[in-house]
Amino acid sequence: MPSGMVRVFGRDAARQKMAVRRLLGYVPQALSADADLTGRENVSLFARVYDVDRRERAARVAAALTAVGLTETADRRAATYSGGMIRRLELAQALVSGPRLLVLDEPTIGLDPIARTSVWRRIDEVRAATGMTVLVTTHYMDGAEQHCDRVALMHRGTIRALGTPRELREQVAGERGAKAPPSLEDVFRHYAGDTFEDEGTEGYRDVRSTRRAASRGG
């Protein structure tokens, strides 16, 4: 074995993988809660998936539900939850292992303004209480502008601009000679353009074929 390399076998490797997994919390864009389970059962399921110590499991589940404001409805089936409550439940699922990095894929998609505000408030509260890093992907520029410390604007798979919301607005204002900084939506348009004319010739069948190939490979 080359000098400086360490090979981990069997149970030690499994333990290390699980330790790393516990450091990461993930809320996908697609629905991840089970409608037939209660809120508490959903979070308990994720506690088992992340191999949270059995002696700590009930307390961790309760703490995660409290953090997202679902204590009073924890024993109702998820099928009875509103869209905003479902998103908060999924946030609790991701938090139950006590992650250091929380990844949120479109956490407020499909929610009305009131529900979006509620979800963002819970995210901000959890981040302030735990100091965890939160990585968010979103198409809602107002949410990014209000809640994110740094923003990376992506277009066609490439990062076009990176900085704090204020830095990005002031940079574009300077380039345009504007008297007042534009909104973050204006900044995105500045880097991405206002039309879809340059998106290429790929059609529906091409996209479907690509995704099928990707699913077979994954």
Smallest CA-to-CA distance from 85 within 63, 98, 69, 100 is with 69
Which position has the token pair 């990376």? 152
Q: How far apart are CA 16 and CA 65, in angstroms?
A: 27
pLDDT at residue 216, rounded to an integer? 42
Residues in the chain: 218
Q: Whole-structure pTM over 0.85, yes or no? A: no
Q: How far apart are CA 194 and CA 53, in angstroms?
A: 51
Percentage of the chain beyond pLDDT 90 is: 64
Sign of the torsion angle spanned by Cα atoms 7, 11, 15, 18? positive
Lowest mean pLDDT among 61-65, 70-74, 176-180: 176-180
Within 24-135, residue ranges assigned H as helices are 39-49, 54-67, 83-95, 113-130
- Give per-residue pLDDT as tens, 76-111: 999 999 999 999 999 999 999 999 999 999 999 888
Q: How far apart are CA 17 and CA 140, in angstroms?
A: 34
- Give per-residue pLDDT as tens, 149-180: 999 999 888 999 999 999 999 999 988 887 78
- Give per-residue pLDDT as tens, 24-46: 999 999 889 999 999 999 999 99
In this predicted model, which residue has the larger pLDDT, 218 or 159? 159
Which position has the token pair 């009930």? 58
pLDDT at residue 218, rounded to an integer? 38
